[in-house]
Structure 1
Amino acid sequence: MGTNTSLKRSLGLWAIVALGLGYMTPTVVFDTFGIVSKQTGGLVPLAYIVGLIVMLFTAISYGKMVKVFPSAGSAYTYTRETMGPRLGFLVGWASLLDYLLLPLVNAVIIRLYMESLFPDASAWIWVLIYVAFVTAINAISMKSTSGVNIILVVFTIALMAAFVVLGAIQLYKGMGTGTLLTIQPLFQANMHITAVLTGATVVCFSFIGFDAITMYTEEAKDINMMPKAIAFTVLIGGGIFFVGAYFAQTLFPDVSVFNVVDDTLPEIALYVGGVVFQLIFLAGAFAATTASGLASHSSVSRLLYVMGRNGVLPKKLFGYVHPKFRTPLFNVIFVGLVSLLAMGPSLELVSAVINFGALIAFTFVNLSVIAYFVFKKKQYQTPKQIISYIVMPTLGAAFTGVLWAHLHADAFIGGIVWVVIGVIYMFIMSKVFKRDITDLGVDEAEKMTS
């Protein structure tokens, strides 16, 4: 009875940007610092510059496509409408790996924080409490999610500014490189570009969020502000990541001082500001991770909603919107259940697998621009059109392809298994249930393109 209920348009520009920044989790730069520093040989800021360049090209493509298809669904919708339902389904399925695991990875980070504070307590209890809180907030309303998220993001950015000030003081006292201005975190004589690219695939995990805000298109007060929201999210988030990575790298040129390389944030805060600052900074990290959890949980719920509304997933469940809360309630609860799996895996493993789906989605969004504007609309007559609809998205697709080729082996294995499951599901839908993927969601597609 609730499947015809629409999502509520309640989000302004900065509310959407805040959701994107919250999704990106500004403090994740410190969580993955040890992993990336070890991979790149102490060039984490350079890895973030590479990641930012790739994300900017892709963000421009997202901005173009969100105006053409003002619907939730992101890469799934764009690929489906420009390159066909079957390919769209597979891209959407790959994106699900990314989006489903992002709420889970936030729960993993919370678990690691609590384990560092209470090593003798059972880890599962922290995961359970956190997941229950995030699920409940998302189930009630999008407006409540946005309001809580903005408060958490502001608190997080303020604490990161405090880290920069304390870090500058420690550098002045001789810690790390002993100087505030150095090219060591950006260039070294013995640097290896392959190592930097491998590190960039990990930091791309930090940027996931700018693309996720396209899921809120149907809840934006004005869809014309979406391209601007995407650009602001990438640039602000990239700037925060670079500054955080630069100060962390100058303070800790290598990972030898860390006891736990898988999540270095607690130790970074301790060495820079002492026990009191560590506790305060952990509180900020909790805030950032919770904000990311709220945003990622809500966005994947909306991707599932679009796929359910189109009939790709069981419509009665995944296409359902609660008549009172006007949220995709079943999806919110489903994502919460998946997030409970955070009781076991490592941060490095989960973040690697996430990037498999994310980079596939980014690649096909760039290709969607070419498919729509060049092949469907024939807009390649002027130099501006050639640059905008051919050169820029081709570079975006090429850059994401290069990063995809440098993914960790575990990410390839997990990602390929997931895609194979998607192919099997598509086969079962068409052969067993006699429903061709090309026939699913026709009415919705017509609505979006009319």
Structure 2
Amino acid sequence: MQKSATLKRSLGLWPIVMLGVGYMTPMVVFDTFGIASKEADGHVPMAYIIALVAMLFTAFSYGKMVRAFPSAGSAYTYTQKTISPHLGFLVGWSSLLDYLLLPMVNALLTQIYLSALFPEVPAWIWVVGFVALVTIINAVGVNSTANFNTLFVLYQMLVVVIFVILAVRQLIGGFGYGEVFPVGPLYTPDMHMSTLIAGATVLCFSFLGFDAVTTYSEETPNPTKTIPRAIFFTALIGGLVFIVGSYFTQALFPDITRFKNPDATSPEIALYAGGKVFQMFFLAGALAGTIASGLASHASVSRLLYVMGRDNILPQKLFGYVHPRTHTPLFNVILVGFISMTAVFFTLEIASAFISFGALIAFTFVNLSVIAHYALKKKEYKTLGGFLSHILLPIIGAAFVAVLWYNLEASSFTMGVIWFGIGLVYLMYVTKLFRVRPMDIHFEEADEESAVIEGEPIVENGVLAK
């Protein structure tokens, strides 16, 4: 029997929450403000409140599923265990689209920021440097990743706090609404629910990533307790930062007529709020956001690939490997780094177009998995609490996700379907046209049997063994 290492259970609640918040990138509230204000007709904070409520339903479903299956596989494992192994692979494959490309998007954003400051430096150097930094930190260990990520998240929080202070000063001076706590950003007599929903639909995509904390389920000592709380706190903290940041931004800018470029409002927001000095401090926060999101997204996709490798749906010898000293899925970390390097050949628009499809696939099937596992399989729906928790709330969560599906850009849907088709062809090949279950696939190079280092928790098929 060959022994192999496992992921190390060393993360507490707040490092995981910080990884989740880092993934979401708090500073994005300023990047999307112009677009959201146009959609929500000047009521961005209220649209964020609606988006947060909508996402909390799906967050609740994630919490229910991680209690049943405390695996790093997230939506892939939940669908595999509750609905169908074959469908589980396709959900995991689709989620990879989101997880794999977000590190690339962050590399491209870093390139954009730094190229603007240092135009004489070749743009590709920033991509290579960013990817190398994120890959090395992830390779060293999950605690190093969490610690660096926390520093960058806290810096973003500091930027938001200083922005609020400067915004209050400007409001007192008569800028924007001209009062510190105006009602206008939240309510005006002529506001319409249709515009609020349109704005919330755009802003829901800011919450993509709160689910990524489930990929650390096998790196915390008590996942069935810690991860559901981490999911809730990640969505709530991220949502509160978005609401507060957008409220004071909307108070300063009741409409978008003041902006020269409404589709990229961050630099102008910072300039009007605090001048050139604060603008530099502010843009450094945006850079910190890309690094934090890069670290967290790189770590998350490495764990998802690890679980798919451990299940042998991807070659186990490579994807299921954990380095015995660092307790990281080292092959996956390096692979994701190489994939992220290809950002030098893409534009931000192309890379971003792929992301939403995979996230919505995951959100949809997590809600459906709650119904399949708790209501259909375990019959836990006959009490009022069971009906609410296992049928009504996940249906509401799925309904909100359906609205996002309806508003998904055509390019995102088209590229997503192509990626899904590639995964379907691969699945048909390795399962001999679905005659073999994914967990029964045997690659020649895979280990015949795997064990764990003595003293480590045993995980079998994504579930903690008793």
TM-score of Structure 1 vs Structure 2, range by shorter chain: over 0.9
- TM-score normalised by length of structure 1: 0.92
Q: In the alignment, what sits opposite 1:365?
A: 366
> What is the distance in 1 between the residues matched to 2:202 and 2:192?
16
> What is the distance in 2 between the residues matched to 1:2 and 1:49?
52
Letter matched to residue 16 of structure 1:
I
* Per-residue Cα deviation, 1:2-37 (whole angstroms, up to 9, x for no partner): 982100011011111111111111111112223333
> What is the distance in 1 between the residues matched to 2:39 and 2:353?
13
> What is the distance in 2 between the residues matched to 1:192 and 1:370?
33
Aligned ranges 1:425-444 → 2 under 5 Å? 425-431=426-432, 436-437=437-438, 439-440=440-441, 444=460
Q: In the alignment, what sits opposite 2:316?
A: 315
> What is the distance in 1 between the residues matched to 2:275 and 2:3?
53
Aligned ranges 1:93-104 → 2 under 5 Å? 93-104=93-104
Letter matched to residue 168 of structure 1:
V
**Gapped runs of 5+ residues in structure 1?**
none
Tell me the CA shift for residue 221 of structure 1. Answer: 2.2
Cα gap change, 1:120 to 1:198, in 2 (>3 Å): farther
> What is the distance in 2 between the residues matched to 1:25 and 1:150?
12
* Per-residue Cα deviation, 1:310-369 (whole angstroms, up to 9, x for no partner): 111222221111122211111111111222233465555544532221122111111111
> What is the distance in 1 between the residues matched to 2:164 and 2:25?
17
Task: Figure out how many residues of one structure are paired with residues of the other and give that number.
Answer: 450
Letter matched to residue 302 of structure 1:
R
> What is the distance in 2 between the residues matched to 1:2 and 1:303?
23
Compare 174-183 and 12-21 and name the one that shifted more.
174-183
Give yes or no for the alignment of 1:382 onto 2:383. yes
> What is the distance in 1 between the residues matched to 2:300 and 2:462?
23
Partner-residue secondary structure (3-state), 1:381: coil
Compare 431-440 and 210-219 and name the one that shifted more.
431-440
Partner-residue secondary structure (3-state), 2:229: helix
Q: In the alignment, what sits opposite 2:220?
A: 220
What is the identity percentage for the equivalent residue pairs of Structure 1 and Structure 2?
56
Cα gap change, 1:160 to 1:86, in 2 (>3 Å): same
Partner-residue secondary structure (3-state), 2:42: coil
Give yes or no for the alignment of 1:297 onto 2:298. yes
Q: In the alignment, what sits opposite 2:7?
A: 7
- TM-score normalised by length of structure 2: 0.89
Tell me the CA shift for residue 92 of structure 1. Answer: 0.9
> What is the distance in 1 between the residues matched to 2:268 and 2:120?
18
Cα gap change, 1:25 to 1:163, in 2 (>3 Å): same
Cα gap change, 1:192 to 1:121, in 2 (>3 Å): farther
Cα gap change, 1:417 to 1:196, in 2 (>3 Å): farther
Q: In the alignment, what sits opposite 1:249?
A: 250
> What is the distance in 1 between the residues matched to 2:200 and 2:337?
29
Letter matched to residue 156 of structure 2:
T
Cα gap change, 1:127 to 1:43, in 2 (>3 Å): farther
Cα gap change, 1:440 to 1:377, in 2 (>3 Å): farther
Aligned ranges 1:124-135 → 2 under 5 Å? 124-135=124-135
Cα gap change, 1:7 to 1:409, in 2 (>3 Å): same
**Gapped runs of 5+ residues in structure 2?**
443-448, 450-458
Compare 187-196 and 43-52 and name the one that shifted more.
187-196
Q: In the alignment, what sits opposite 1:160?
A: 160
Give yes or no for the alignment of 1:288 onto 2:304. no
Tell me the CA shift for residue 268 of structure 1. Answer: 1.7
Q: In the alignment, what sits opposite 2:180?
A: 180
Tell me the CA shift for residue 211 of structure 1. Answer: 0.7
Give yes or no for the alignment of 1:445 onto 2:446. no
Partner-residue secondary structure (3-state), 2:81: helix
Tell me the CA shift for residue 196 of structure 1. Answer: 4.3
Does the Cα contact within 8 Å between 1:3 and 1:319 map onto a contact in 2? no
Cα gap change, 1:388 to 1:187, in 2 (>3 Å): same
> What is the distance in 2 between the residues matched to 1:195 and 1:246?
17
> What is the distance in 1 between the residues matched to 2:323 and 2:434?
27
Partner-residue secondary structure (3-state), 2:150: helix
Does the Cα contact within 8 Å between 1:210 and 1:233 map onto a contact in 2? yes
> What is the distance in 2 between the residues matched to 1:410 and 1:229?
33
Partner-residue secondary structure (3-state), 2:431: helix
Does the Cα contact within 8 Å between 1:86 and 1:438 map onto a contact in 2? no
Q: In the alignment, what sits opposite 1:33?
A: 33
Does the Cα contact within 8 Å between 1:172 and 1:178 map onto a contact in 2? yes
Tell me the CA shift for residue 217 of structure 1. Answer: 0.7
Tell me the CA shift for residue 151 of structure 1. Answer: 1.8
Does the Cα contact within 8 Å between 1:262 and 1:346 map onto a contact in 2? no
> What is the distance in 2 between the residues matched to 1:50 and 1:213?
22
Tell me the CA shift for residue 185 of structure 1. Answer: 3.2
Tell me the CA shift for residue 114 of structure 1. Answer: 1.6
Tell me the CA shift for residue 417 of structure 1. Answer: 1.4
Cα gap change, 1:438 to 1:10, in 2 (>3 Å): closer
